[in-house]
Structure formats: structure tokens, C-alpha cells
Amino acid sequence: QLQIVESGGGLVQPGGSLRLSCAASGSALDNYNIGWYRQAPGKERVGISCINNSDGTTYYADSVKGRFTISRDNAKNTVYLQMNSLKSEDTARYYCTAAPVDTGIWCPSTYAWYYWGKGTLVTVSS
């Protein structure tokens, strides 16, 4: 049984940076696709970035491409999302999600993922 927990959110000024962590327990992440999704108030949950934790393939939404970087540390069983040049429109609750690689579940799909964390809040404001 896989469990995932997000951390690293908080209040940051426009132009600042944060690094979010998705820490897993119960199973190794080597054979999972991992996704970062976000949901702003009044909006739908959308896929921001995904990584195939087996071969390293990545996905980035156009809204974050060039500013965010997803990475993995399999030894720590953790996936990270480095967020740079943050904008007010990045304000949202950020969720980590996971599915076995062989399911083919991938960004930007919202509803097919097997496991979800509780989320971590990111607020970008002066």
C-alpha cells in the first residue's frame, strides 16, 4: 500500500522560489508515474508536471514550462518540484499523485490516478 505526503508549501513573494517534496512510503517509487497537480480556488485541478520514475521521462504544462523542474531521488523514495520565478497565478494547493507505470496513466489526466496526497498550500503574494 503506497502512501505519499507532500511538503514544502508556504508563502512566497512574486519572483521567489519554493521546492515541494513528495515522500513515499509502503512501496518503492521506481515503478510508478508521479504527478504534481494544483487546484486554485474556484478552478479545476490540473496537471502541472509528471515523471516516469522508471525511465525519467517528464511532462510540463505550458503554464510552468521553463520555470518548474520535476526530479527524483530514488534512494530517498522522494520526488521534488522546484518552482522558480513564481507568479500570483501559481497560488494553489499542490497535490502529489501516483500510478503504476504499466497502467499508462499520465499527465494531464486528472481522475485516473491511483493515489493522492493531502496537498500542500502555495501562496504567491507581496
Counting Cα atoms < 13 Å in the Cβ hemisphere of 50 gives 23
Q: How far apart are CA 85 and CA 13, in angstroms?
A: 9
Out of 61-65, 66-70, 72-76, least confident range: 72-76
Tell me the three cell numbers of residue 7. Answer: 511538503
Q: Which amino acid is at 108?
A: P
Could you give the percent of the chain with pLDDT greater than 70? 100
Q: How far apart are CA 121 and CA 101, in angstroms?
A: 27
Tell me the three cell numbers of residue 20. Answer: 515541494
Compute the radius of gyration of the chain from its Cα atoms. Answer: 13
| Predicted pLDDT at 98 | 96
